[in-house]
Amino acid sequence: CTTWWCSSQEARVRAKVVLPAPGVATESRLQRLEYDDLSVRRSLAVAHDALAASGRRSDRDAALALRRLGALDLPTYGAPLVARLLGTDSDRAEEALDRLVDVALLEETAYGRYAPHDLVRDFARELAGSGQAADVARTGVRWYTAVAERVLTETVQPGFDQEDRRRPTPTQPPEHTAHVRSVPPFAGSEEAFAWSIAELENIVALAERYADASDERTAAHVSTLLRLIFPCLQRGGRVSEMEVLGQVALELARRLGDEVAEAYALSDLAGMHFLAGHYGESLAFMEQATALWRRLGMISRVRRCLGNQGLLLESLGRYAECEQALLQCLELSPQLDDPWGDAVAYGHLGNLYEHTDPRAAIEYHRRSLAIGNEIGNVIVAHSALCNIGYAYLALDEPAAAVPHFEESLSMLGGHSDWHGESQSRLGLVRALRLLGRDGVCESECAELLRRADARADGYTGGLARHQYGLLLRKAGRPAEAREQWRVALAALDGTDKKEVLAELRELLDS
């Protein structure tokens, strides 16, 4: 097979035809790209038919792969997904994808990721327009749901959080368990996180497509997919995608009448708003989730929600209510063998007491750290060290804070936890600035901004720019400082970081 469309023919067609705007029907777009004896659709059909009639297995696999891609229609594709769609192994699927690249029907956009040109995508949809298209799409959704459970088991440590998430909800399709057994586990958490990042755009596309699906079984698979993948996205700090997926999860759960899935979606939306700095909205979702978990009798989930409510109430300055929620959380300890939950509650109590007695707060954080070390939970230990650093900042002892922030970051390693990492990095920047270590501080601040921008995390970026502006002002660069503060104010406006917002306005007015 030669390339599907020689450059001279493309130029002649484009010279005579104006491409329609996005959203024009497939038939219309390909129909318009015809002139005299030239036809894009005909050129594509010749390339496809030559592959399909070839005596080489890889060519026939490539033709079938193009039809399968048209049925599922996602932004990009990898060999494991295509292998499932073809019913073969990854090596054979990769050969088929490489063959499609050879004949210019696909482009390798990144290592191991493939995407068709828009017009090829339209043609592939036409090829898949009849026959088994619906079955192929369902196969793809079920594969994503199965792999999502493998991601969960690799990125969430064993305990109530993992066990509860994996427990089937009333509408989880019974065949899901067999599908999970059919996909291999990841080699480690880093590989699982990498998969979630590579496939996130596709997961969002599937969720949006099936949010209103009339096929309830497929809707139930998507609901299961979102429940299983959400903890990984939260750990990765993918706030914008979390917002879209959380809303779809809530809509699907309510449409399916699945109260367990609904409670998870409410909790997940609360987590998304917390990461975005919208503590009031987060608390409203968390209170709804708590009430639903209580009615469902899920004590482990009630306890998680009470701990999170304590964190949110402390962030909102509602300290008496915070203490009440956290003490209720600890009162549930005898009913559960959950040292992780105890450690988190002690950490939140430390955050509360930091406002009145930072040294007492440090003792609570050390209790949390001891539990984290005892149970081997890196995230708990990392958070405790970070919190101790902030307590030392509250004591105006930045020199004591720095090693705790540095240790918290070094122990995190490959364990992705963007909220904890960003808090440690922000605390380290503050401490270094107070110590006058300006060069290192600027470098750390630039790294924090780079990582926040990579996640489109404007909230963390705003907090970092606030600190960067203070550093620039100290360096005698007031105009640059004011620009950083203006950007920070725009990013944080509407969040519940009221003290920072007030300081930014004062800095800009001075």
pTM, two decimal places: 0.87
Question: Assign residue 162 a region: left if phi > 0, alpha if psi is -120 to 50, beta otherwise?
Answer: alpha
Beta bridge partners of 39: 34
Q: How many CB atoms lie within 10 A of CB 413?
A: 11
135: which residues sit within 8 A by CB, 6+ positions away?
none
Q: Which helix or strand (DSSP H or E) is residue 115 part of?
A: strand 113-115
Write out pLDDT tens, residues 463-510: 999 999 999 999 999 999 999 999 999 999 999 999 999 999 999 998
Inter-residue contact 71 to 139 (CB < 8 Å): no
User: What Rg do the C-alpha atoms of the chain give, in angstroms?
Assistant: 26
**pLDDT tens sequence for the chain (510 residues):** 333 333 333 333 333 333 333 334 445 565 555 544 446 788 888 889 999 899 899 999 999 999 999 999 999 999 999 999 999 999 999 999 999 999 999 999 999 999 998 889 989 988 887 668 889 999 999 999 999 999 999 999 888 999 999 999 999 999 999 999 999 999 999 999 999 999 999 999 999 999 988 889 999 999 999 999 999 999 999 999 999 999 999 999 999 999 999 999 999 999 999 999 999 999 999 999 999 999 999 999 999 999 999 999 999 999 999 999 999 999 998 888 889 889 999 999 999 999 999 999 999 999 999 999 999 989 999 999 999 999 999 999 999 999 999 999 999 876 678 999 999 999 999 999 999 999 999 999 999 999 999 999 999 999 999 999 999 999 999 999 999 999 999 999 999 999 999 999 999 998
Q: Which helix or strand (DSSP H or E) is residue 316 part of?
A: none
Q: Which of 263, 310, 306 is nearest to 288 (CA)?
A: 263
The CATH architecture assigned to 7-131 reads Orthogonal Bundle (1.10)
* Pairing of β 38-39 and β 107-110: unpaired
Which tokens hold the place of 422? 């960003």
3-state secondary structure of 194: helix
* CA–CA dist 473, 447 (Å, integer): 19
Which tokens hold the place of 167? 């427990």
Torsion of CA 292, 295, 298, 302, to 10 degrees: 60
Give residue limits of the domains in the chain. Answer: 7-131, 436-510
Write out pLDDT tens, residues 146-203: 999 999 999 998 889 999 999 999 999 999 999 999 999 999 999 999 999 999 999 9
3-state secondary structure of 108: strand
User: Which class for 87: exposed (0-12), middle (13-18), buried (19 or more C-beta within 10 A)?
Assistant: exposed
Instruction: Work out the angle at residue 149's Cα, subtended by the Cα atoms of residues 241 and 382, and round it to the nearest 5 degrees.
Output: 70
Which tokens hold the place of 91? 């090596």
Q: How many CB atoms lie within 10 A of CB 117?
A: 15
Q: Sign (positive/negative) of CA torsion 202, 204, 209, 210?
A: positive
